[in-house]
Structure 1
Amino acid sequence: MSGANRIAGKGRLTPAKTARFTYDGRILTGLEGDTVASALLANGIHLAGRSFKYHRPRGILTAGPEEPNALMDVSRDPSRKTPNVRATMQELYDGLTVSSQNRWPSLAFDIGGINNLFAPFFAAGFYYKTFMWPKAAWHKLYEPQIRKAAGLGVSPTQDDPDHYANRFAHCDVLVAGGGAAGIAAALAAAETGASVIIADERAEFGGALHFDTNVTIDGQDGYVWAQKTIARLKALPNVTVLPRTTVFGYYEHNFIGLAERVTDHMAKPAPHLPRERLWQVRAKRVVIATGAIERHMVFDGNDRPGVMLASAARTYLNHYGVAVGAKVGVYTAHDSAYEAAFDLKAAGVEIPVIVDSRDKPGEAVLAKARSMGINVLTGHAVLTTKGKLRVSAMVVARRGQKSGEKIAVDALIMSSGWTPSVHLFSQSRGKLAFDADNQRFLPGTYLEDCMSVGACNGTNGIQATIDEALGVGELLARAAGAEGKSTLSIAATQAFEWTGGMAGSAEGAGPDDTSAKAFVDFQHDVCAKDIRLAVREGMHSIEHVKRFTTNGMATDQGKTSNIHGLAIAAEALGKAMPEVGLTTFRAPYTPVTFGTLINHSRGPHFDPARKTPIHAWHEAQGADFENVGNWKRAWYYARPGEDMHQAVNRECKTVRSVAGLFDASTLGKIEVVGPDAAAFMNLMYTNSWDTLKPGRCRYGIMLREDGFVYDDGVVGRLAEDRFHVTTTTGGAPRVMHHMEDYLQTEFPHLKVWLTSTTEQWAVIAVQGPKAREIIAPLVEGIDLSNEAFPHMSVAEGKIAGVPTRLFRMTFAGELGFEINVPADYGQAVWEAIWEGAEPMGACAYGTETMHVLRAEKGYIIVGQDTDGTLTPDDAGLAWAVGKKKTDFVGIRGLKRPDLVRSGRKQLVGLKTKDPREVLEEGAQIVADPNQPKPMTMLGHVTSSYWSENCERSIAMAVVIDGRAKMGQTLYVPMADRVVAVEVCDAVFYDKEGGRING
């Protein structure tokens, strides 16, 4: 037998199957099937950690995922360390290493415990007041120390050696929770033929049947029935059973996130197995069967090790065979704690007294207590507890009295009722309803296709729970499209049927004594007096109380504390609980590891590189690459002996004198198709598209609703009902989303289909005086003459034998063509063009040269020369706004007084007085460099380059009233000098624009 507190004949574990583990350097023994918590209790260890703020000794409070105290650092080996693991959920295996947290130098003697002596100075909200003065001390004194003390546990310092998996799934019915209600619902749904996924966070299904041995289902022990039924479900081809799997998030349209712990319970997992698996499930219907969470009693000293929930003590006894003490006191305001006392008493544990704060408990439990010889004190309260590292006594008095009798105990179990677990329901955006009779919140108005069953729905009694679950399981399965019927009928009984409510505020709210440490939130050290202080400080909303006190903001997300905090605040305000409000339950239900969420997205896969179809050629030519979004783009092609600047200068000169090839495949490309395509384009862009004929192109500006520039690009009309839209490289996803959003929400009447084709087309830009001469021998079916194919034209034909969409356009201000070919042929066509271009003296050029060439012509890049606050007029693009258009996205925004006032920033050019001086991008611009600080900034530099073609530096900038300042001298303060600049036109090269015609 492992552990002195194991009781022979109790529990469901096999005594012969032992497992050795280490806890804070001590080698201990448990049983296979134990959790760390049950194994520690079996070894007589209650001390499990130190609290966050006061560093008070803390013990194991619960037996489930709501555990706030027993957070451990667990490891299989030095490279696999995970902090903040709940001891109640970590399964034991041979060789597991466990360490307590938030203490130094040891758990028994923690220097941080001195904080408990200064507790009066650490009242709720103290940080809002204490660290405000002197102001200069914040960064030097307060912040470093606060950051050092913040957090629970120590983050791993080594790379995670494990791998993780991800799976997408669809099902007719997903059942969240594997207690009696969840199992019954899954069984009924499966019988109809529906595809079913049932998930539960524990290793074994059964929920409350783990501890409730007084339940009989179908003539057998409830837990046995659960295991047999799960085995039956596993054998069905239409059912997926997921143990050790937490349904942590409920998102829109029945999208559910599940975290499966695949190997965390294994001593030596197979190398091919992932540590955890993320399930992303789209379910037609969802059954929420998440049960209820027992609440603690709020009284002075309720946080001492050895004080725990009654259901937890019952779980450790009936499932793990562990007695939480030899002399266990009971403090309750609910009948369910009596059952824990009865089970402990029957197992040979001494129960000196049951202290019941109510005057009239249930008659059935009172009679049973009398028959077992257990003393019951009704209308009494536990005033405080005694003991240092473990509870040694409790002080009991009649309710309302200030002194009482000291009763020796080595453990104290408590219950003030049960809180329906409505977290997933709330995450689904459902609206809660308040059950005044039982002082609890229940599911009210549903917004998703789901239903709640069992304790989380406020259903009382095992037979009522199963009947409800069977009905809902079949109902939702048939609503999801299943055609079969369920004929199930399951009979169930239980020894005691009690209503799952909450103790009234007088019993559960805690004492008014400001010296009492009656804890509401164990993890954040929030006491009842802190809640009352928040109310006195003016916090009248529970959301404000939560943030002022930090109640419910820890890793347990207030599972045991939220309702208590609300009840105390309501009592202090003299209001009903619904009037004060309820805090928001957000995903995840319990913490999810970064590994599970990130999955394969780490290292080189963290930000996957996108490569163009011509990437291999660029690599072979020795190109350096820059990251543009996720794309790898050729930056420049340095020849032997050249640095970056020399390479860019050569490329710029070559493009303007001969020609250059540029890989523009990363441009966003969207196909807009349908009879209403032109009408849709008219609404999405500022200029008109009705007048654009097939075979012609137009530059378009897209705005946000507020009138600011969102994106730009050239659009080619291929037919009356088809447009080829280009976007900026970085803007492709958001422009597609922008269009889809408006099409679905504002213009659903339009018959238009949108398709992202960015990856389908490789784009080769050939720019320069000899561009036509280079591609002409390869083009079939398109007349490339100026007359037949003028600037801003598009045609379909072939190039190098490959189908192409050929655009006559330029981003360099030269005669130019953009050749779109299917991506698979991108490199072959590039090589064919290069074969003719290289002998003519043309070059391949990269993004840096592209930036210089476009800046010479004053062409903007959205996102670089705009910052989300520029209108088309600010950017010098007023000509692109249709003057006769009556409607488009952003038209009302453009008419706002602030957007048409004088004094707005406008895009202009800058010339440095010294032509060799190149400005820093982002540098601020001022009128007088000698003005007192803080200076008045007029704008900033958006683009700045050395132009080999202009033989000087050039820059673009946004400047207040920039166009009115033409010819004026402004100043740019740099890190070590001030540079004088002249405001000029943004076009530096070929102002007349004649070069685009060759």
Structure 2
Amino acid sequence: MSPRRIDTGGRRVDRDRGIRFTFDGKPYSGHPGDTLASALLANGVTLFGRSFKYHRPRGVLTAGVDEPNALVTVLKGNIREPNIPATQLEIYDGLTVVSQNRFPSLSFDIGAANQLGGKLLGAGFYYKTFMGPVVGPLKGTRFWMFCEYFIRRAAGLGRAGYDKDSARYERTNAFCDVLVVGSGPAGLMAAKAAAQSGKRVILAELEPRFGGSANWSSETIDGMPAADWAQATIAELRERKNVRLLPRTTVWGYYDDNMLAALERVSDHKRDAAKGEPRHRYWSIRPGAVVLATGAFERPLVFPGNDRPGVMLAGAAERYAAEFGVLPGRKIAVFANNDGAYGTALALKKSGAEIVAIVDVRRQVSEAAHAAALSTGGEFLAGHAVVATEGGTKLSGVKVQIFDAATGALSGDPRSIDADCLIVSGGWSPVIHLASQAGVSPQWDDDRQAFLPPKPTQNWIGAGAFNGSFSTAAALSEGDAAGRQAAGETDGPAEELPNVDAPALQSNPAPVFEIRTSGKAFVDYQHDVTAEDVRLAHREGFVSVEHLKRYTTLGMATDQGKTSNVPGLAIMAEALGKPIPDVGTTRFRAPFAPVSIGSLAAERYGDLKPERLTPMHDWHIEHGATMYSAGLWYRPMIYGHSGETIEQAYVREAKAVREKAGIVDVSTLGKIAVQGPDAAEFLDRVYTNMFSTLAVGKARYGLMLREDGFVMDDGTTWRLGENDFLMTTTTANAGKVMQHLEYFLDVVWPDLKVHLTSVTDQWAGAAIGGPKAREILAACVTGTAVDNEAMPFMGIVHGEIAGVAVMICRLSFSGEMAFEVYCGAGHGTHVWKALLEAGKPFGLVPYGLEALGTLRIEKGHVTGAEIDGRTTGRDLHLDWMLSKKKPFIGSAMMDREGMTAEDRLQLVGIVSLDNRPLNGGGHIVEQANPEDPANSLGHITAACYSPALGKFIGLALVKGGKSRHGKRAFTSDPLRNRFGPVEIVSHHFFDPEGKRMHG
């Protein structure tokens, strides 16, 4: 028999079977259903880990997801998973676990020397200690630079591994009428009521066993033990086809439109997952209504030595006895500010423990509490407080002293009481995290000394301890009402409510959170934040709760302050001389509990980037194209001949376009249908230039700014009808532009009658450019002429190619006469082949993005490299497009002083004077000294070899660019060992008058 395993209780464990596992290399045994915490406690282990900063010995404080101390690392082969609460880790045969944050061992940790640092290691010590100058040999450097390596080595708790995670993860979506979160008495009644109404119900419980973590050992419901009633109700729900039960499932996020995120731990409790079984499953749940029956967390009391192994929350102690058949100690002392711990004391005595004392900060307690105290047989000390604990790495006793709850004053001499376990209760905090995520700030309740949920802003209903109703009878009643309300019923109860027989103990605590005396009293156990740290933050001016949190790191550990939040606020409130609600609380944010990154990626792991392929993709591959990704799309880089380098291929392709003709796949351009009576007005507001004056059958180049006046995107928009426009965007910005337009229609101008549709994937596009482009079109297009009269520059015509309807616009990105041909995506390859066949007599060649980039650099056209979020229309010499006749997005900000300064980076061309390649990203400098090039004037945005000029050229953004035309500078690129002279010129290298394009 294990040292603390008892004959009674243990409804979660199977005593007939044993499990072997190891902790820090030592073998132990437990039973199926045990957590690591319960199994180790049963074996007499009380030391589980070391604290973050002081390396103090720490034991188990809780029995659930709120555990701040007992964090361990699970080993599976070479895979390490740190910071797993021992209270949540179900044991299995072969489980291998190690403790954390200690060296060389858990029992002897040299890091414990940090405790000698005293106040030197208080809140913010690194800010105040390591920022001064270094003296001695390293004089002249900052002390932080010297200490940073050692501090970062010491930071953190568990150590992550480097091996690839071999587990499977899944994602799934679920829809239901009612989602019930939590399966305590309130949650069970809510699920039952909703299911009886015929609604589709999902019941999610973070524990392996339904029934919640309520301590029902001394309660009966309908004449049977409460735990048995819970299992009977679960059995009834299992029989219903409209109910889905999700054990081991933590609902961790509440998002807009009543969408909740949950994590199901499918196989963590198994040695090996079954074939095809995932480790975790991520659920996106979209219910019609939500019942939040998430219960409450018990709070500790703050007093010196409150973190010693052997100090445990009262509710946790009762759970270990009732659910696992494990006593947390043999000689137990109780310390409380409310009646709840008295029921725990009775339950533990019934389980075989000796209750040596009950210490209560209140001088007067209820008659039921007084009677319970006497029944335990232990010493009853009302109006007293625990002021210290005794022992080393485990508790051996406590010190108590007379205490005045009204003033916080201690009197008399402290005296010792022998005990190997101290259970504490500082009241209960409703688990309102999901409601806070879904709504607004919680509301303080003085009677319960706790924050209650805010008023709903989404479709949720609270029930039970979540609402601050801590009695089982109230939980059953509220759960039934919430379930019926969520199901849309407003009449009376569906059936008679269960009859509850429970001790008449009150739950409301006295407003006492801290016993203030000398010694370290911990508020946040995991981050070693003491009560004195909170007061120090106040003295140093960090009085906002958000500043308090960040300065002290209170509530920022993996437990997210589940046990420390309210005590920390109470201590700050006392320091400020304000009531707790005036101090406020931080908003709870998702996730409620840690979530594995693998579950978020799930099946997308290893393939996180979707591949978008144009309709002509297979043709490109078959004809020797080298593909690469451009944004999310795969596009041809070059169509290389045998033995060609990339440079030789793109130079050949670009030269062919200039001399004869080339064809390029432009299906990837963003395409947005803008339709409706106000479409033209909308485009006038979106673009910097006018579109309401554009004739039907014509296109216009447009420039789009962000609200701050910087350029966002450029492209052409075609007017296909009076109220029908086709907007094209750059490939990379298609999604961003769509979001931009939808935002302004939905939020800023909801009165405009405009409809937007992304049609990027509906159209295949090919651009033909070069001196022979018109002749090639004339050879294959039917149903329309393509001469200059029928299709002037920016003109649009409709016709057919090889029997397929096409739409053609004459526009150019290369500086050559060029045409963009669009057809339905399903006909893209057919039309592409027809164009190539018609172009054979004219020397038509396909070309890729490298040649496309070369052509655009020669012509001086801008793309994403120049439109980088920091450039204005004037910087890019597009000021001729900034209308003075109308307002538009960004017009109010574009004339700010900083946006029109003469020394802004402006677009220029650069020519290599040493006939060596230029590199994008290289700096432009004035000094000829590569060792000391001095300040940068700007940088190269794009570069290539120009077959039209026979030189290495590039585009750059340079301070005062236009005024530097004709001047010499230097490119400095130390990372690629490139330094050399360049000449700054106009960005229009080729055909600046546009004769070829407009010819």
Aligned to 2:398: 394
Q: Structure 1 residues 864, 185: CA separation in 2 closer, same or farther (over 3 Å shift)?
A: same
Q: Which among 292, 295, 298 is matched to residue 291 of structure 1? A: 295
- Note if 1:368 corresponds to 2:367: no
Question: For 2:852, what is the secondary structure of its paired residue?
Answer: helix
Question: For 2:48, what is the secondary structure of its paired residue?
Answer: strand
The one-letter code sitting in structure 2 at the alignment partner of 1:348 is: G
- Note if 1:987 corresponds to 2:988: yes
The one-letter code sitting in structure 1 at the alignment partner of 2:419 is: V
Aligned to 1:490: 497
Distance 2:791 2:507 in 1: 80
Provide the TM-score with structure 2 as the length reference.
0.95
Percentage of identical aligned residues: 46
Q: How does 1:868-907 map to 2 (within 5 A)?
A: 868-885=869-886, 887-907=887-907
Distance 1:52 1:964 in 2: 59
Distance 2:642 2:716 in 1: 37
- Asked whether the equivalents of residues 381 and 396 of structure 1 are also in contact (C-alpha less than 8 Å), the reply is yes
- Note if 1:54 corresponds to 2:61: no
- Note if 1:416 corresponds to 2:426: yes
**Post-superposition shift, 1:320?**
0.8
- Asked whether the equivalents of residues 808 and 821 of structure 2 are also in contact (C-alpha less than 8 Å), the reply is yes
**Post-superposition shift, 1:758?**
1.7
Aligned to 1:632: 634
- Asked whether the equivalents of residues 714 and 727 of structure 1 are also in contact (C-alpha less than 8 Å), the reply is yes
Aligned to 2:183: 178
Q: How does 1:160-171 map to 2 (within 5 A)?
A: 160-171=165-176
Question: For 1:769, what is the secondary structure of its paired residue?
Answer: coil
Aligned to 1:471: 481
Q: Structure 1 residues 430, 765: CA separation in 2 closer, same or farther (over 3 Å shift)?
A: same
Distance 1:491 1:645 in 2: 82
Distance 1:974 1:888 in 2: 39
Aligned to 1:671: 673
Decide which moves more: 841-850 or 230-239.
230-239
- Note if 1:824 corresponds to 2:826: yes
Distance 1:83 1:762 in 2: 50
Distance 1:494 1:962 in 2: 85
The one-letter code sitting in structure 1 at the alignment partner of 2:888 is: F
Distance 1:685 1:422 in 2: 46
Aligned to 1:578: 581
Distance 1:987 1:472 in 2: 71
Distance 2:796 2:394 in 1: 82
- Note if 1:620 corresponds to 2:637: no
- Note if 1:533 corresponds to 2:536: yes
Q: Which among 259, 263, 269 is matched to residue 259 of structure 1? A: 263
Distance 1:221 1:751 in 2: 64
Q: Structure 1 residues 762, 902: CA separation in 2 closer, same or farther (over 3 Å shift)?
A: same
Q: Which among 725, 731, 754 is matched to residue 729 of structure 1? A: 731
Decide which moves more: 250-259 or 282-291.
282-291
Aligned to 1:752: 754
- Note if 1:800 corresponds to 2:807: no
- Note if 1:521 corresponds to 2:531: no
Q: Which among 542, 546, 564 is matched to residue 543 of structure 1? A: 546
- Asked whether the equivalents of residues 930 and 972 of structure 2 are also in contact (C-alpha less than 8 Å), the reply is no
Deviation per CA, 1:376-399, whole angstroms, max 9, x where unpaired? 111111121122221111122222
Residue segments in structure 1 that go unaligned for 5+ positions in a row:
none
Question: For 1:599, what is the secondary structure of its paired residue?
Answer: helix
Q: How does 1:701-850 map to 2 (within 5 A)?
A: 701-838=703-840, 840-850=842-852
Question: For 1:351, what is the secondary structure of its paired residue?
Answer: strand
Distance 2:66 2:301 in 1: 15
**Post-superposition shift, 1:944?**
2.1
Distance 1:717 1:200 in 2: 57
**Post-superposition shift, 1:522?**
0.8
Distance 1:485 1:623 in 2: 72
**Post-superposition shift, 1:16?**
0.4
Question: For 2:760, what is the secondary structure of its paired residue?
Answer: coil
- Asked whether the equivalents of residues 924 and 941 of structure 1 are also in contact (C-alpha less than 8 Å), the reply is yes
Decide which moves more: 974-983 or 939-948.
974-983
Q: Structure 1 residues 486, 769: CA separation in 2 closer, same or farther (over 3 Å shift)?
A: farther
The one-letter code sitting in structure 2 at the alignment partner of 1:299 is: F
Q: How does 1:22-101 map to 2 (within 5 A)?
A: 22-75=22-75, 77-101=76-100
- Asked whether the equivalents of residues 663 and 764 of structure 1 are also in contact (C-alpha less than 8 Å), the reply is yes
- Asked whether the equivalents of residues 703 and 890 of structure 1 are also in contact (C-alpha less than 8 Å), the reply is yes
Deviation per CA, 1:267-294, whole angstroms, max 9, x where unpaired? 3321211111111122332222211100
Distance 1:165 1:669 in 2: 34
Question: For 2:636, what is the secondary structure of its paired residue?
Answer: strand
Q: Structure 1 residues 988, 497: CA separation in 2 closer, same or farther (over 3 Å shift)?
A: farther
State the Cα RMSD in Å: 2.2
The one-letter code sitting in structure 1 at the alignment partner of 2:30 is: G
- Asked whether the equivalents of residues 295 and 418 of structure 1 are also in contact (C-alpha less than 8 Å), the reply is yes
- Asked whether the equivalents of residues 718 and 795 of structure 1 are also in contact (C-alpha less than 8 Å), the reply is no
The one-letter code sitting in structure 2 at the alignment partner of 1:407 is: I
Aligned to 2:211: 206
Question: For 1:392, what is the secondary structure of its paired residue?
Answer: strand
**Post-superposition shift, 1:931?**
13
The one-letter code sitting in structure 2 at the alignment partner of 1:565 is: G
Deviation per CA, 1:591-627, whole angstroms, max 9, x where unpaired? 0011111212322x02233222222222233332332
Q: Which among 146, 154, 160 is matched to residue 151 of structure 2? A: 146
Q: Structure 1 residues 78, 784: CA separation in 2 closer, same or farther (over 3 Å shift)?
A: same
Question: For 1:600, what is the secondary structure of its paired residue?
Answer: helix
Q: How does 1:440-451 map to 2 (within 5 A)?
A: 440-451=450-461
Deviation per CA, 1:176-208, whole angstroms, max 9, x where unpaired? 222111222222222333332221111112223
Q: Structure 1 residues 635, 501: CA separation in 2 closer, same or farther (over 3 Å shift)?
A: farther
Q: Structure 1 residues 852, 977: CA separation in 2 closer, same or farther (over 3 Å shift)?
A: closer
Question: For 1:759, what is the secondary structure of its paired residue?
Answer: helix
Distance 2:736 2:203 in 1: 36
**Post-superposition shift, 1:314?**
0.2
Decide which moves more: 898-907 or 815-824.
898-907
The one-letter code sitting in structure 1 at the alignment partner of 2:190 is: A
Residue segments in structure 2 that go unaligned for 5+ positions in a row:
135-140, 404-409
**Post-superposition shift, 1:449?**
2.2
Q: Which among 216, 220, 225 is matched to residue 221 of structure 1? A: 225
The one-letter code sitting in structure 2 at the alignment partner of 1:939 is: G
- Note if 1:245 corresponds to 2:249: yes
Distance 1:105 1:368 in 2: 46
Decide which moves more: 843-852 or 316-325.
843-852
Q: Structure 1 residues 655, 898: CA separation in 2 closer, same or farther (over 3 Å shift)?
A: same
- Asked whether the equivalents of residues 436 and 454 of structure 2 are also in contact (C-alpha less than 8 Å), the reply is no
Q: Aligned residue pairs: how many?
A: 984
- Asked whether the equivalents of residues 905 and 959 of structure 2 are also in contact (C-alpha less than 8 Å), the reply is yes
- Asked whether the equivalents of residues 659 and 842 of structure 1 are also in contact (C-alpha less than 8 Å), the reply is yes
Distance 1:938 1:868 in 2: 18
Q: Structure 1 residues 233, 682: CA separation in 2 closer, same or farther (over 3 Å shift)?
A: farther
Aligned to 1:306: 310
Question: For 1:226, what is the secondary structure of its paired residue?
Answer: helix
Q: Structure 1 residues 459, 664: CA separation in 2 closer, same or farther (over 3 Å shift)?
A: same
Distance 1:94 1:839 in 2: 76
Question: For 1:817, what is the secondary structure of its paired residue?
Answer: strand
- Note if 1:274 corresponds to 2:278: yes
Deviation per CA, 1:545-576, whole angstroms, max 9, x where unpaired? 21111111100000000111111111122111
Question: For 1:45, what is the secondary structure of its paired residue?
Answer: coil
Aligned to 1:568: 571
- Asked whether the equivalents of residues 625 and 632 of structure 1 are also in contact (C-alpha less than 8 Å), the reply is yes
Deviation per CA, 1:717-772, whole angstroms, max 9, x where unpaired? 11122211111111011101001111101111122221112222222222222223
- Asked whether the equivalents of residues 660 and 844 of structure 2 are also in contact (C-alpha less than 8 Å), the reply is yes
- Asked whether the equivalents of residues 132 and 144 of structure 2 are also in contact (C-alpha less than 8 Å), the reply is no
- Asked whether the equivalents of residues 419 and 501 of structure 1 are also in contact (C-alpha less than 8 Å), the reply is no
